[in-house]
Structure 1
Amino acid sequence: MIILTKLIAIAIKWRALAGVGRRRISLPRVALCHQQKASKGHFVVYTMDRNRFVIPLVYLDNNIFRELFRMSEEAFGLPRDGPITLACDSAFLEYVLSIVQRNTSKDPVAKAFDVLTSKFKY
């Protein structure tokens, strides 16, 4: 029979090992060679499901994107040679882009922050 303290120690060890493997997401270099460069005034980001988005630089002023970049830095670290990968899926990023494009009032943006922070709690 397994003692409860040993079981907890094994669970903590496995959780730590699982966390090490998911810290970095790298995209294949071959796929990046075939992609076009972003036009002037835009930047490229990838989502966790490896979809590519070209986003205007003006959106960097938005708090939602700042929060996404902060969460991405916590999850994956700062990229050195590879692309910027955001810690969300493509459906969520499309939703965020639609909110920012519509330039809506503060209430939907606040709701988006709530969804963002509740979805990615560690």
Structure 2
Amino acid sequence: MVSAKRLSQMIRKWQRVAAIGRKRLMWTSAKEVDECCTSVAVKGHCAMYTADGRRFEVPLAYLGTTILGELLRMSQDEFGFTSNGRITLPCDAGVMDYVMCLLRRNASEEEI
């Protein structure tokens, strides 16, 4: 089992490697931006997108966890506050699936 701290370190490392290997600019049409911004998350959830464009609806209770807080800080550093009206996390869908799995199992143990 990977701890939240170790997972944060791995994500930071993957982010650095990915930044070296490719550019982070994503070209989207106006239609795609309109579609993403009009879809509302389920009550009690927050919609977030991964760098590869997959949408995740994260329960608000998870926002206080260490790992998600670190991902949001990294997102702010990489994308800033202007990312076409959506929260984009600097990881791919596979990493986010793993993070969500960890949070579902023990979110209450990792709260700040």
**Same fold per TM (> 0.5)?**
yes
Contact 2:47 2:87 in 1 (8 A): yes
Q: How far apart, in 2, do the equivalents of 1:87 and 1:23 lie? A: 9
Is 1:57 equivalent to 2:70 in the alignment? Answer: no
Match of 1:67 among 66, 70, 74: 70
Name the CA distance, whole Å, in 2 between partners of 1:23 and 1:101.
29
Task: Work out whether residues 27 and 50 of structure 1, in 8 Å CA contact, stay in contact via their aligned partners in 2.
Answer: no
Aligned to 2:104: 101
Read off the aligned partner of 1:30 and give its amino acid letter. Answer: K
Alpha-carbon contact 2:54-2:93 (below 8 Å) kept: yes
Contact 2:51/2:89, CA 8 A, preserved across alignment: yes
Question: Does structure 2 conserve the Cα–Cα contact (< 8 Å) formed by 1:25 and 1:76?
Answer: no
Q: How many residues align?
A: 89
Residues 1-122 of structure 1 mapped to structure 2, 5 A cutoff: 22=23, 24-25=25-26, 27-34=28-35, 36-79=39-82, 81-103=84-106
CA distance in 2, matches of 1:27, 1:57: 28
Moved over 3 A (4+): 21-29, 32-35
Deviation, structure 1 residue 62: 0.5
Q: Does the 8 Å contact 1:44/1:84 carry over to 2? A: yes
User: In the alignment, is the contact (CA less than 8 A) between 1:48 and 1:86 conserved in 2?
Assistant: yes
Root mean square deviation of aligned Cα: 2.8
- Asked whether the equivalents of residues 65 and 107 of structure 2 are also in contact (C-alpha less than 8 Å), the reply is no
Instruction: Tell me: CA distance 1:29–1:53, structure 2 relative to 1, closer, same or farther (3 Å).
Output: farther
Local SS of the residue matching 1:43: strand
- Runs of at least 5 residues in structure 2 that lack an aligned partner in the other structure: 1-18
For residue 98 of structure 1, report the CA deviation from its aligned partner.
0.1
Can you list the C-alpha shifts for 1:78-110, whole angstroms capped at 9, x where unaligned? 13642111000000000000000011797xx7x
Quick one: higher RCO (CA 8 Å, sep 6+), 1 or 2?
2
